[in-house]
Amino acid sequence: MELYSGHINKLIEELAGLPGIGSKSAQRLAFHLINMPQTRVERLANAILDAKANVRYCKECYTLTDHEICPVCANEKRDHGTIMVVENARDLAAYEKTGKYEGVYHVLHGAISPMLGIGPNDIKLKELMQRLEGDVNEVIIATNSSLEGETTAMYISKLIKPTGIRVTRIASGVPVGGDLEYIDEVTLLRALEGRVEL
């Protein structure tokens, strides 16, 4: 027996198909949307449609933007000779929130994963290599410290090293507030290797 009518079920089903939304969250969202004023629902629907129609990849770094070139790449005050390579636009946003990085980015839109059938040609590596033909001094590899992220980092490093461009990897280690006894050995080793002078 279906608990709700077809329209409600369809809305819950569509919402549950979004990443990070389980069936209970989808149900809560569906009821919230149904109870919202018509004008707010229309604004939300229009925002989704507008974003889908107008958002595209930046021609330089491949992050998402509604302009030909994103605000970071368009900013002449940024150091265009330093490129940080990240897996996705969310990683770029995380670094931008720190307010400390002054270079530019390159978004791969994934990581190499033979298990999932994702190879070097399935992410934006060719585009990265084309960018390196310009005036680039350093490439900072900021992929995740997962198996896929490490594989991608090693692959990129091997591609870039012969060009003479400096290649660095972000340090990864102990999170703020983390107790050492609960942290795995690989993380502790990375924290040790990435140590800095005090």
pLDDT score recorded for residue 197: 58
Q: Is residue 88 in a domain?
A: yes
Please give the span between the terminal C-alpha atoms of the chain, in angstroms, as a whole number. Answer: 66
Is residue 147, in this structure, part of any structural domain at all? yes
Reported as a single tens digit per residue, the pLDDT across 87-141 is: 999 999 888 888 888 999 999 999 999 888 999 999 999 999 999 998 999 999 9
Residue 94 and residue 33 in one domain: no
In sequence order, the 6+-apart residues with CB closer than 8 A to the CB of 153 are 141, 143, 169
Query: Do 166 and 91 lie in a common domain?
Result: yes
Check whether residue 88 and residue 157 sit in a common domain: yes
Q: Two tokens at 163?
A: 């060009």
In a domain, 103, yes or no: yes
The stretch 162-172 carries a mean pLDDT of: 87
Are residues 123 and 176 located together in one domain of the fold?
yes
- List the one residue out of 181, 156, 151 whose CA is nearest residue 168: 156
Q: Is residue 76 pLDDT above 90, yes or no?
A: yes
Note the pTM of the prediction, 2 decimals. Answer: 0.79
* Contacting residues for 186 by C-beta, under 8 A, at least 6 apart: 145
In a domain, 43, yes or no: no
143 lies in which domain range?
Answer: 78-193
Q: Judge if 103 and 163 occupy the same domain.
A: yes
Alpha helices in the chain (DSSP H): 6-16, 23-35, 38-54, 71-74, 89-98, 125-131, 147-160, 185-193
Residue 60 clears pLDDT 60, i.e. is over it:
yes
Q: What local confidence, expressed as pLDDT, does residue 146 receive? A: 83
Total number of domains in the chain: 2
